[in-house]
Amino acid sequence: MSDRGTLRIQRVSGHPGPVAGQGTQREDTVCKLIDTTTCIGCKACEVACVEWNDMPFRETYFDNTYQTMPDTQWNYWNLIKFNEDEHSDGSFAWLMRKHQCMHCADPGCLHACPADGAIVQYENGIVDFQQENCIGCQFCVSGCPFNIPKYDETTKKVYKCTLCSDRVGAGLEPACIKACPTGCLHFGTKDDMKFLAEKRATQLREVSGFKEAGVYDPPTIGGTSVIYVLHDINHPEKYGNLPKEPRISAAFTIWKEWFKPIGLFGAMLGFVGVVMHYVFEGPRRTQPLPPIKQIDPPDRAAGKEN
Amino acid sequence: MATSADRFIHRPNAIDRLGKTVVYAGELMRHPVYTRFLHWMVGILFFLALLSGFGIYLPWIFRFFTPLFGGGAMTRFLHPWFGIGFVFFFALQAINWAQAMTWTPGDSRWMKNIKDYVTRADSVESPETGFFNGGQKMMFWEVVCGSIAYVITGVMMWFPTTFGRIAVSVAYVIHDVSALIMLFGIFFHIYLSTFGEPGTIQAMTRGTVSEAWAWTHHPRWYKDVTGRDPEEAMKQASRPTAGDERTL
């Protein structure tokens, strides 16, 4: 879904050996900053996403909240999650969070993916799916701590937000950023966005009375290229199941990268074993079959009669 | 308790009637057509599932094995169906063989003395080895357990959103371990049926084995089906008969 001519690939899923051309160009890590404290839930970003990526509008449902659909879809990559957070003093707040791919620095989907080149991470930090290489195994679905990749039954491929890699590669900001009317969405280098986010969090703590305000950039997955400013950094789960410590299952890291090759080597020892057995011990032929001459090593011959 | 001889009496079913087993002089009937059919169906589907699964198993071998099945997406599409076929035919084989594969104290003794088997300490099997030896039974029960693991973990991996990402990532490891154990075992299975113990493979092709093979590898089964003493039969066979000019 992207333009390989303008974005250098840093990591490739299911690929033996290093990536060709890695590190030949200097590229800043890009980042999307989402300030949940200024989000008004207008869904302009959702519309911009659907329009830019030429996806059909989805049917919505009504469950007595402002939540228009339960989750993102294979062709609906950006969704505002509405949550009503009741406080202990009886007051309540609307917590609105723009939910999309987090573009992790250490992506669980990429670790899980067995198909060569189906998931790539560009040097600017964008994690992108290459559907032409996708085999539809859905390992990325269980690799992702944010429940982002969505499987399409018809094409048997998995899709997700591209961080508008086609736009970013051409020097433009992602479509959602362009559409945001409140300035809650920002786009730039990771360093700049971290600086801006920390400044906003400090302002919230010191001026606006949100004592727990902070920046969500989870270090457990090496940070993300989508960061949030939250009113309450200690309880990210309140914002529609945003995990506090997102983790990649060891099945996709330790098992896949270390024990799989060792295990395969171990299983192939069975082959070596039988070949060696044939050489050292030989077959057991049907009897009677008196040997013409048997040459044993001296110590072994001592314990045997024939 | 069924003896090996009981196992030998097989009531022919529809599959058996499709083919025939010719027992020549000096041979014994070992596997009927139905057993042979199931064995080769299991064997073919095992290798299809193994090779297609291999493509997905490790990035280093992805490009070696996926082209065999028409590319990565096709490999992924076919693998579960190969697996279902393997488990289906093996389940029928398990029912077919459940009685013959029942573990006995003799098999425990066989496993204890496995070193003698491996080093060929004796030229023939121990006299209490029946229709199947301890190693064969262990392999059979390993495949039973492995197939159960395949089905459970395979279904979880097939529908990951239903079972949740933690359960699926555990299933993924169990599926791999089961495959590695079976891959390890298949080398012994093929070796012992061909190079390691000559004369064995015809039990699964033509369905018969020579009497000499029977008293060498499965003495008690020989005794049960012929009523003769295997050691005596072997000695008799080794006695030079009139006209045998063999000099050694």
Size of interface A-B (CB pairs under 8 A): 156
Same-domain status, A223 and A265: no
Closest-CA residue of A relative to B183 is: A267
Residues A211, A296: one domain? no
Query: And the tokens for B142?
Result: 């390993």
- B169 contact residues in A (CB cutoff 8 A): 112, 142-143, 249-252
> Which residue is closest to B57 within chain A, CA to CA?
A114
Same domain, A217 and A269: no
Look up the CATH number of the domain holding residue A195.
Answer: 3.30.70.20
CA B75 to mean position of chain CA atoms: 26
Asked if the Cβ–Cβ distance from B58 to A286 is below 8 Å, we say no
With beta carbons less than 8 A apart as the criterion, state whether B166 and B158 touch. Answer: no
Which B residues 206-235 touch A at CB under 8 Å? 210, 212-213, 215-217, 234-235
Mean per-residue pLDDT, A69-87: 93
Nearest to A31 by CA among A102, A121, A108: A102
> Which pLDDT value is given to residue B2?
47
pLDDT tens-place string over residues A60-76: 888 888 899 999 999 99
Q: Is residue A186 domain-shared with residue A231, that is, in the same domain? A: yes
pLDDT score for A306: 47
Q: What is the pLDDT of residue B7?
A: 52
Task: Round the average pLDDT of chain A to a whole number and report it.
Answer: 91
Q: Partners of A129 in the beta sheet?
A: A119
Q: Binning pLDDT at 50, 70 and 90, where does residue A57 land?
A: confident
State yes or no: pLDDT of B66 exceeds 90. yes
Q: Which residue of A15, A109, A135, A276 to mutate against B (max B Cβ within 10 Å)?
A: A135
Inter-chain residue contact A249 with B166, CB threshold 8 Å = yes
Put simply, the answer to whether A114 touches B62 (Cβ < 8 Å) is yes
CB-based contact B123 A15, cutoff 8 Å: no
Residue A12 belongs to what H/E stretch?
Answer: strand A9-12
- List pLDDT tens digits, range B151-201: 999 999 999 999 999 999 999 999 999 999 999 999 999 999 999 999 999
Which has the minimum average pLDDT: A5-9, A30-34, A129-133, B30-34? A5-9
Structure tokens at B215: 């008293």
Please indicate, yes or no, if residue A4 is contained in any of the structural domains.
Answer: no
| Percent of chain A residues topping a pLDDT of 70 | 92
B76-128 pLDDT, tens digit per residue, is 999 999 999 999 999 999 999 999 999 999 999 999 999 999 998 888 999 99
Say how far apart CA B191 and CA B210 lie, in whole Å.
Answer: 19
What average pLDDT does the segment A30-34 reach? 97
Chain A residue with minimal CA distance to B186? A270
Residue A300 has pLDDT above 90, yes or no: no
Q: Please tell me which of the candidates B123, B161, B187 has its beta carbon nearest to residue A287.
A: B123
Q: Is B70 an interface residue toward A (CB < 8 Å)?
A: no
The predicted model gives B228-242 an average pLDDT of 81
Mean pLDDT of B1-12: 58
Nearest chain A residue to B176 by CA distance is A260
CB A55 within 8 A of CB A73: no
- What is the per-residue burial (b if ≥16 Cβ within 10 Å, else e) of A250-280? ebbbebbeebbeebbeebeebbeebeebeee
Q: Do A269 and B184 touch (CB under 8 A)?
A: yes
Please check whether residue B72 touches A, CB under 8 A: yes
Residue of B nearest to A12 (CA): B59
Instruction: Tell me how far apart the alpha carbons of residues A193 and A177 are, in angstroms, rounded to a whole number.
Output: 13
Distance of CA A109 to the CA centre of its chain: 4
Helix (H) or strand (E) holding B146: helix B134-158
Domain end point (choices A217, A248, A279): A248
Preceding amide of A288 cis, omega within 30: yes
- Look at residues A249, A255, A248, A208 and name the one whose alpha carbon lies nearest to residue A230: A208
Q: Do residues A211 and A293 share a domain?
A: no
Q: Looking at the domain assignment, is residue A1 inside a domain?
A: no
Range with top average pLDDT, A12-16, B182-186, B232-236: B182-186
Count of domains forming chain B: 1
Structure tokens at A131: 């559907």
Partner residue opposite A142 with nearest CB, options B57, B60, B168: B168
Mean pLDDT of A170-187: 95
**pLDDT attached to residue A3:** 46
Let me know if residue B18 belongs to a domain: no
CB-based contact B234 A287, cutoff 8 Å: yes
A183 and A200 in one domain? yes
Q: Is residue B28 part of a domain?
A: no
Residues A122 and A141 placed together within one structural domain of the fold: yes
**Does some domain include residue B112?**
yes
Q: Which amino acid is at A91?
A: S
Structural domain contains residue A164? yes
Q: Is A142 within 8 Å of B185 when comparing Cβ atoms?
A: no
Q: For residue A305, how far is the Cα from the chain centroid?
A: 66
φ, ψ for residue A204 (rounded to 5)? Answer: -65, -40
Q: Is A88 buried (19+), middle (13-18) or exposed (0-12) by CB count in 10 A?
A: exposed
Q: Report residue A210: phi and psi, to 5°.
A: -90, 90
What residues contact residue B199 under an 8 Å CB cut-off, 6+ apart?
A285, A286, B209, B210, B212, B213
Asked if residue A68 is part of any domain, the answer here is yes
Q: What is the mean pLDDT of residues A261-275?
A: 96
Number of Cβ atoms within 10 Å of the Cβ of A14: 25
Residue A169 to residues A31, A103, A146, B42, B199, Cα–Cα distance (Å)? 14, 15, 25, 51, 67
Given an 8 Å threshold on Cβ–Cβ distance, is A292 in contact with B57?
no
Interface of B with A in 76-135 (CB under 8 A): 76-77, 118-120, 123-124
Domain count, chain A: 2
Look at residue A36 in the predicted model and tell me its pLDDT.
96
Using an 8 Å Cβ cutoff, are B32 and B12 in contact?
yes
Last residue of a domain, one of A248, A267, A285: A248
pLDDT band at B239; cut points 50, 70, 90: confident
What's the rounded mean pLDDT across residues B224-235? 91
Same domain, A99 and A226: yes
Smallest CA–CA separation between B207 and chain A, in Å? Answer: 17
- Domain limits at A269? 255-302
Q: Which residue of B has its CA nearest to A280?
A: B119
Chain A environment of B176 (Cβ under 8 Å): 255, 260, 263
> Among A220, A248, A276, which residue terminates a domain?
A248
Q: Is residue B5 part of a domain?
A: no
pLDDT tens digit string along A129-151?
A: 999 999 999 999 999 999 999 99
* A286: nearest CB among B59, B196, B212: B212
Q: Return all residues near A230 (Cβ < 8 A) that are at least 6 apart.
A: A36, A37, A213, A214, A215, A216, A236, A239
The ipTM of this complex is 0.87
**Do A116 and A198 have their domain in common?**
yes
Kindly report the CATH number assigned to the domain that includes residue B77: 1.20.950.20
* A290 vs B221, residue with greater confidence: B221
Which of A286, A296, A304, A305 to mutate against chain B (most B CBs within 10 Å)?
A286
Judge if A110 and A132 occupy the same domain: yes
The more confident residue out of A20 and B145 is B145
Instruction: Read off the tokens for A71.
Output: 């989750």
Contacts of B183 in chain A (CB under 8 A): 264, 267-268, 270
Can you point out the beta strands (E) in A102-256? 119-122, 127-129, 150-152, 157-159, 185-189, 214-216, 226-230
Report the distance separating Cα A33 and Cα A229, nearest Å: 8
Question: Does A137 lie in the same domain as A265?
Answer: no
- Mutate which: B52, B61, B62, vs A, most A CBs within 10 A: B62
Q: Chain A: nearest CA to B16, how far in angstroms?
A: 28
Domain extent for B212: 33-238
- Based on the domain organization, do A218 and A289 belong to the same domain? no
pLDDT band at B71 (very low <50, low <70, confident <90, very high): very high
Residue A49 dihedral angles phi and psi, to the nearest 5°: -65, -50
Interface contact flag, A135 B123, Cβ < 8 Å:
no
Task: Tell me the whole-structure pTM to 2 decimals.
Answer: 0.89
- For A271, the closest of B62, B119, B187 (CB atoms) is B187
pLDDT at A64: 87
Selecting from B73, B118, B164 the residue whose C-beta is nearest the C-beta of A156 gives B73
**Sheet architecture: strand order including A214-216:** A185-189, A30-35, A226-230, A214-216
